[in-house]
Amino acid sequence: MTKPGTFQLFGLLLLFVAPATALTQADKSGAKPCAECHAQALSQPFTDMGRALETVELCRVLIDHPMLTAMYGRYSYRIERTGDQSTYSVTDGTATITMPIRWALGASSAMGQTYILEKDGELYESRMSWYRELNALGPTLGGGNTLPANLQEAAGRLMSRDDKLRCFGCHATNAAQGKNLTLEKLVPGVQCSHCHEATEAHLAAISGNSGKPAVPAGLQSLHNMTAEQAANFCGRCHRTWAEVAIQGNFSVSNVRFQPYRLTGSKCYDPDDARIGCPACHDPHREVSAHPADYDAKCKACHGGGKAGAKNCRIAKKECVTCHMPKMELPGGHYKFSDHRIRIVKANEPYPG
């Protein structure tokens, strides 16, 4: 979804030009100490997943928009930049609430972002979010369909401890230890150690003096996951089949839950890695938006690779353009690719 820009180049410079000082906690959880030996560390930090949470200082959207305004009902909003910080305020014409933004959730390069605000030691989820498709603020998804009842509601939603554990747990690294919130140790984005466990033990072993094997037991390559294992592994954040099924949401708003959608496709075989998430997505690289890049993935089964997987009578390339249609997430201002791979029929109801 992203084109490399100055931000990435700046990041790369930081990665390599930074003097070899003692590693901070952030460094240890991130890609920096891995870059010497693993090429994954050169690309993964710059993916949308690697930047799923951004600091206000480095947030591209806030830097590029020193003033954002919006109206919602009788409330008017303003996000204003001063130096390397941004404040968020809302007024009903009489009273005003102003709060500093602490973090942005969602990469600047991706579909949109919601702001985490702070007041009197509490955190709030902003009622207004920025959407790339609009290049403007709009109501936050999940904020409800009714207009805010009062100024406080118009500003944002108070985050419970559970909300914080969940939001930061999926969008950042080291934000929680078990059920304890550890925001002081938070490292922005989904970093190596979020997916690869035991990385600290690996580093210690490599540096030579631990007497333990260099690849400790917890550090598996994650290479040999079946489709089902991958769907559950990635589903920790992208939601598992079971979570969505239990919620009972069978409307088009479940199109963003790829593990659920994929499981409903005739292509899906829980034991076959060729239809697992990593078969089509290298989690260390930006997602390809070129349909032709996926043809070989489909043809790994269709056209002789797997017994029973038929050939298409209509076309021989760019399969995903017809069989993984892009569908608008209501209120999300973004089209997701439906992972329920199928023959799409005109005017069919959404296969929930």
Record the tokens describing residue 298, joined without a space.
């489909």
Query: Could you give the CA distance from residue 196 to residue 184 in angstroms, rounded to a whole number?
Result: 21
For the CB of residue 94, give the shortest distance to ligand HEC in the complex, in Å: 28
CB-wise, 92 or 236, nearer to ligand HEC? 236
Cβ within 8 Å of residue 147, ≥6 positions away = 72, 73
Query: ∠ CA 107-350-318 to the nearest 5 degrees?
Result: 65
CB-wise, 92 or 274, nearer to ligand HEC? 274
For the CB of residue 164, give the shortest distance to ligand HEC in the complex, in Å: 8
CB-wise, 97 or 267, nearer to ligand HEC? 267
Task: State yes or no: residue 295 binds ligand HEC (CB under 6 A).
Answer: yes
Determine contact, residues 52/190, Cβ cutoff 8 Å. yes
Query: Could you give the CA distance from residue 349 to residue 352 in angstroms, rounded to a whole number?
Result: 9
CB-wise, 101 or 190, nearer to ligand HEC? 190
Question: Pattern 179-218, binding to ligand HEC, x per CB under 6 A?
Answer: -----------x-x-xxx--x--xx--x-------xx---
Q: How many residues bind ligand HEC (CB under 6 A)?
A: 103
Query: Could you give the CA distance from residue 98 to residue 117 in angstroms, rounded to a whole number?
Result: 9
Task: State yes or no: residue 132 binds ligand HEC (CB under 6 A).
Answer: no
Query: Could you give the CA distance from residue 243 to residue 259 in angstroms, rounded to a whole number?
Result: 10
Q: Which of residues 32-91 bind ligand HEC (CB under 6 A)?
A: 33-34, 36-38, 40-41, 44, 47-49, 52
Q: Which of residues 300-319 bind ligand HEC (CB under 6 A)?
A: 300-302, 306, 308-310, 312-319
For the CB of residue 247, give the shortest distance to ligand HEC in the complex, in Å: 12
CB-wise, 92 or 165, nearer to ligand HEC? 165
Distance (Å) of CA 1 to CA 36, 48, 63, 295, 335: 27, 8, 20, 19, 12
Q: Which of residues 222-241 bind ligand HEC (CB under 6 A)?
A: 222-223, 230-231, 233-234, 236-238
φ/ψ of 178, rounded to 5, equals 60, -125
